[in-house]
Amino acid sequence: MRRAAVCLTGHLRTAILDPVHLFIEPLQHSVLRAFSNSGYEVDVFAVTDAGEDCERTRVVLEPLNLKALQCIAAVEEDPVQRQHEEQWLQHGAKTIWNRAAFLGQLKKVQACDLLMSATGERYDLVARSRLDVRWHQFPADVSKLEVPGIIWLALRSTEYANSYMSDLFAIGGHLEMKPYMHVYDELLDRGNW
């Protein structure tokens, strides 16, 4: 049996109004079912902010039988890392998004990869999605997305000229996804701006 990991990061946002119909069922029916029908055993991971978001997310995601949930502080606790974040927020390359929110999302993506790595499992495919994406359809044969050297990204037509990656959704082999999952570290490296 092939193995896949689905990493969910961020906030539920409007899905919190009706999480079963706006998030859980669409994810189960469109994404997780496609993995299962394609012969994959799936582990689901999630990372959100600490505090009230954490408890709300844990309750909402209960039907997904999460392998792990991590809730991280919005403000970096490590003083050296916090300084790197503050330097990027003030002087880093420009982005059209709210800089602090964008950095926080990338931090959650990296934390999710560390959760997956901690299991010791070897995943054939890794999918990463924001928690506020509402799924309508997904490729029926997920194995066709398992192409060496390729990461598949969702892209809105208004984002084609952006200087940063799309943070909506990505899927690829575990090795191929490592650079995507660790953009946070690359962003904070002053040598990259």
Residue 163 predicted with pLDDT over 80: no
Q: What is the phi-psi region of residue 191: left when phi exceeds 0, alpha when psi lies from -120 to 50, beta otherwise?
A: alpha
Which residues on adjacent β-strands are paired with residue 152? 171
pLDDT at position 193 is 80
pLDDT in tens, 34-77: 999 999 999 999 999 998 889 989 999 999 999 999 999 988 88
The separation between the first and the last C-alpha atoms of the chain, rounded to the nearest angstrom, is: 42
pLDDT in tens, 166-186: 778 999 999 999 999 999 999
pLDDT at position 133 is 87
Give the Cβ contact number of residue 157 at 10 Å: 5
pTM for this predicted structure: 0.92
Determine the Cα–Cα distance for residues 139 and 69; give it in Å rounded to an integer: 26
pLDDT at position 160 is 58
Sorted by sequence, the CB contacts under 8 Å of residue 50 that are 6+ apart come out as 71, 72, 73, 74
Residue 117 predicted with pLDDT over 90: yes
